[in-house]
Chains A and B, each alone.
Chain A
Amino acid sequence: MPGKPIVQVEHLRKVYGATVAVDDVSFEVYEEEIFGMVGPNGAGKTTTIECIEGLRRPDSGQVRVLGLDPQHDGYALRPRIGIQLQESALQDRLKVWEALDLFASFYPRSIDWQSLMEQLGLADRRNTPFAKLSGGQKQRLFIALALVSDPEVVFLDELTTGLDPQARRAMWDLVRQIRDQGKTVFLTTHFMEEAERLCDRVAIMDHGCIVALDTPQNLIRTIDAEQRLVFGVDGKVEPQLLSNLPGVTRVETIGERVIVYGRTDGFVAEVLNALTSSGTRFRDLRTEQLTLEDVFLSLTGREMRH
């Protein structure tokens, strides 16, 4: 059951010179969801999010955020949205607490930035200048600045780029907390795993177009991709033993590791039976779940470029 639409985009188009950055993109983001836009670098994600934020002027199409046009009602809208930009910085010598104090003063209404600083784990860095913060600390500060006005929608552009896996996971928890406070989150990422783990709904973008939009589970369910069964063998296994099985589409052997591809749900049992009855010893057997990476591959015929 979708909630109230918070962001409405219809036929958005943006061209830079001869390059069509965003081509006829339409979608809606609903209240209190984490909506993700995922795709390779250069797919048009940042252009789309910045048109929605009112930072770029679309060449054509309609954008509404909280019922307002970001181009014409930008200054009415900005106090109600929180923005984290992909490429930005603060003054090198600006201290963490000064940044929060400064940005709080820009908004007609702001929340207590002291508690925000605690909540984002920046309290022990309150007197650290911006230039001396780590990548993760800078991103947390930018999130704090996006939240300081207590916005209804938060836009996060490539939030976890450049962060190590641990910091990235901590950031996901943070985003979930923001949503649990009743806010709507719109994020872009080029990490498929991030979109899959974090987002309620995902729009997959490629070459300026949305090629699919649904929940991660539905996206994975709809693709007609092969499942993978991976195991190790002692010695060798005759490929014909497995590739002749009805559910199996192909078999790859890399040294002692065997990967069996299949489409039907029953192919795993067929492979296990064949291995057991032929007396082949196997270990470390696992099935690999399909991911959004596979969805992207099946929709575009290409691997995600990182």
Chain B
Amino acid sequence: MRGFWKLTWTEIKLFLREPMAAFFTLAFPLMMLFLFGSIYGNEPTPFFGGYGSVDVSVPAYTAMIIATSGLLGVTITMASYREQGILRRLKATPLRPQSILGAQVIVIFLMTTLGMVLLVIAGKLVYGLRFDGNPLNVVLAFVLSSMSFFALGFVLAGLLPTARTAQIVAMVLFYPMIFLSGAAIPREMLPESIRELAQVLPLSHVVTLLRGLWMGDPWTKHLGEVGILTLLLIAGVLVSSKTFRWE
């Protein structure tokens, strides 16, 4: 276990040394918060069902961070670790395969959580962020959504042949998804037709689930989202366990 925890700690340090990853997971959502917060403020408005712009944006940006970690972080890290031979080198040690991958999942989950915590603190301190939900429910939904998207990242990393293609495909999936799903911009601002079309995107369900629970919805109102994300998680784990390659 000592090796597993040392690897986890090492990967945390490496994550923070990687400017792009740290920027998109930790700094970029805060920049979005302050940018739109300074434009729209956080006054309650009927447009957002009696909530302010920041109140609806914090759970939505959390969904964006989850997509960043799962689609970009997991996919690109795993594909380039494989291509460079880092996975090969780690696998030639007494460390078990599940420890090598488990350390990656823990680190990316911690960083996703940190990104969310920073958003909540900044929203609270600067804009008086409103929260009407049950914290435990939101945490559970956050964990489920994160794991579903990490599984998706492992599937992509396994299917795509090179680090370069992994990066391109991850970007092509990521950018439309964060805008159309209502993660980066509130979905109230999107036309009805796009909102309906966006239901095919898994991230839309993360946004709906997190926003709903944030505003105090009961689980029973979101069984559909929970079902879809659970299926995505199970399918992702099954497919990636077949397609994941160490070299």
Q: Beyond A78-B93, A78-B94, A93-B14, is A87–B88 a contact (Cβ under 8 Å)?
A: yes
In the complex, chain B residues whose CB is within 8 Å of the CB of A145? 89
Give the size of the chain B interface in residues (CB under 8 angstroms): 21
Do B6 and A91 touch across chains, with their CB atoms under 8 A apart? no
Do A89 and B92 touch across chains, with their CB atoms under 8 A apart? no
Q: Tell whether B242 is near chain A: CB-to-CB under 8 Å.
A: no
- Cα–Cα, bound, A93→B15 (Å): 9
Do A89 and B7 touch across chains, with their CB atoms under 8 A apart? no
Q: Beyond A53-B92, A55-B92, A103-B93, is A88–B86 a contact (Cβ under 8 Å)?
A: yes
- Cα–Cα, bound, A106→B1 (Å): 8
- Cα–Cα, bound, A93→B95 (Å): 21
What class of interface size applies to chain A in its complex with B? 20 to 34
In the complex, chain A residues whose CB is within 8 Å of the CB of B218? none
- Cα–Cα, bound, A94→B15 (Å): 11
Q: Tell whether A107 is near chain B: CB-to-CB under 8 Å.
A: yes
A54: nearest residue on chain B (CB-CB)?
B92
In the complex, chain A residues whose CB is within 8 Å of the CB of B81? 91
The number of residue pairs between A and B whose CB atoms lie closer than 8 Å in the complex comes to 59
Q: Tell whether B18 is near chain A: CB-to-CB under 8 Å.
A: yes
Q: Tell whether A75 is near chain B: CB-to-CB under 8 Å.
A: yes
In the complex, chain B residues whose CB is within 8 Å of the CB of A91? 14, 81, 86
CB distance from A154 to the nearest CB of B (A): 13
- Cα–Cα, bound, A94→B13 (Å): 9
- Cα–Cα, bound, A102→B100 (Å): 12
In the complex, chain A residues whose CB is within 8 Å of the CB of B17? 93
- Cα–Cα, bound, A2→B21 (Å): 55
- Cα–Cα, bound, A108→B95 (Å): 11
In the complex, chain B residues whose CB is within 8 Å of the CB of A20? none
In the complex, chain A residues whose CB is within 8 Å of the CB of B94? 75, 78-79, 106-108
- CB contact between A102 and one of B7, B18, B85, B88 (< 8 Å): that residue: B7
CB distance from A199 to the nearest CB of B (A): 23
Do B3 and A105 touch across chains, with their CB atoms under 8 A apart? yes
The contact string, 1 if C-beta is below 8 Å from chain B, for chain A 190-218, is 00000000000000000000000000000
On B, residues with C-beta under 8 Å from A are 2-3, 6-7, 10, 13-14, 17-18, 81, 84-86, 88-89, 91-96
Sample of 24 A–B contacts (CB below 8 Å): A55-B92, A79-B94, A83-B92, A85-B85, A85-B88, A88-B84, A88-B89, A88-B92, A89-B84, A89-B85, A89-B86, A90-B86, A90-B89, A93-B14, A93-B17, A98-B10, A102-B3, A102-B6, A103-B93, A105-B2, A106-B6, A106-B93, A106-B95, A107-B3
Closest 6 CB pairs of A and B: A88-B85, A105-B6, A106-B3, A88-B89, A89-B84, A106-B93
